[in-house]
Amino acid sequence: MIIRKGNQNDLAEMKQLFTETITSVCKNDYNDQQLEVWRSGAENNERWLKVIHDQFVLVAVSDHKIVGFSTLDKGSYIDLFFVHKNYQHQGIASKLYLQIEDEARKQEGKNLTADVSKTALTFFEKMGFHVLKEQMVNAKGIMLTNYKMEKKL
């Protein structure tokens, strides 16, 4: 597996990984309506193009396919963080995270923040984050629970 900077050519594969991961990995933490509205975020092409152009994007590649990705916005906010359903618990998330944290340090960030799903909460806690607050997010009229988390660098 290699980790490299993401680019616009990766977008289609990133969006597919995003929707498939939500569907299969997050299904025990969110109901069908919540999963559907969350997955619908892949349809917002303008947002994804903005992510690629404005954020620090890393992709993990194995056997010529993207198996995970993470994005860092403004040097201190982890915006997107997903690992392929068939590559869970293989250390990919940890490797991506360590490189994201390293980039935040290079950008002289004092802390990292993220809005973390119920599914990812334990991982982020293992990486040294703590919950600032539980949040109820309204996405197209459907309420989703997530957690505002932070780690001091």
Q: For the chain (length 153 residues), average pLDDT per consecutive 10?
A: 97 98 97 97 96 98 97 97 96 98 93 97 98 96 97 97
Q: Does a structural domain hold residue 64?
A: yes
Domain count, the chain: 1
Structural domain span for residue 55:
2-109
Q: Half-sphere exposure of 44 toward its Cβ, with a 13 Å CA cutoff?
A: 11
- CATH number assigned to the domain comprising residue 54: 3.40.630.30
Q: What is the pLDDT of residue 140?
A: 93
Q: What is the pLDDT of residue 109?
A: 82
Q: Does a structural domain hold residue 122?
A: no
Q: Does a structural domain hold residue 146?
A: no
